[in-house]
Structure 1
Amino acid sequence: MSAPDLAPRRPLGGIVTVWIAAAIAGLVVGFFVPSDLRSAWTLVALGGAIILSFIVQLWYGQTQRFIQRTSLSILGALIVLGIISAGFRVAALIPA
């Protein structure tokens, strides 16, 4: 006999956590980094989001659909950082 699985954690919380962390990192980069260094620091923020996604999904403790959850976290972080970066790029074009 095998023990029944307890109610597993919902994977959506871990995925959205990485997206929120990427949004915060993108806003920090956008507001506090000079415009000529923003693209480099955005890549650093994406690298941090990739590492965070692996940490969160490993903490989740389920082997089923690990690759899908991790890739969804990373893809969402990439999209979030891209939107924020594009927003700051457009804002830089508008004269103050």
Structure 2
Amino acid sequence: MDVQDRPWVGVVAVWVVTALAAIAIGVFAEPDTRFAWLGVALAGSVLVTFGIQLAGGVTAGYLTRVSISVSGAVVVLVLSSIVIAIASLFAL
């Protein structure tokens, strides 16, 4: 089975990479710079999206897959920013 048969795999891969980046930011970044790093993670997610979708070589539905990938990455980062904000309220 080829990547061209499963175009949704690239979409989910971007979401997983974004979630891993958000976890790394929440754990390793300084509290004052976490939200700035989330913006960098979004930029990286867009680049990863373009890379994966262009490497797949499937032109049909390209814009839809890119839109879904980036939208999902934004949702992941919004949820992680909410978690980071709540966690920072309880941090000493």
| TM-score, length-scaled by structure 2 | 0.91
Contact kept, 8 Å, 2:25 with 2:38, in 1: the verdict is yes
- Identity over the aligned pairs, expressed in percent? 36
- Aligned residue pair count: 91
1:8 partner SS:
helix
Q: Report if aligned partners of 2:3, 2:56 keep a CA contact under 8 Å in 1.
A: no
> In the alignment, is the contact (CA less than 8 A) between 1:9 and 1:60 conserved in 2?
no
Within the candidate set 77, 83, 87, 1:87 is matched to: 83
Instruction: State the superposition RMSD in angstroms.
Output: 1.6
Residue 32 of structure 2: aligned partner:
36
Alignment CA distance shift 1:48-1:95 (3 Å): closer
Query: What does 1:13-52 correspond to in 2, within 5 Å?
Result: 13-52=9-48
Q: Gapped runs of 5+ residues in structure 1?
A: 1-5
User: Are residues 95 and 50 of structure 1, via their aligned partners in 2, closer, same or farther at CA, if it must alter by over 3 Å?
Assistant: closer
Stretches of 4+ aligned residues off by more than 6 angstroms: none
Q: 1:69 is matched with which residue: 65, 69, 72?
A: 65
Highest Rg: 1 or 2?
1
Q: Which runs of no fewer than 5 residues in structure 2 stay unpaired?
A: none
Length-normalised TM-score, structure 1:
0.88
CA deviation map 1:13-71 (0-9, x unaligned): 10000000000000111111111101111100110000000000011111111011001
Counterparts in 2 of 1:59 and 1:46: CA distance versus 1, 3 Å = same
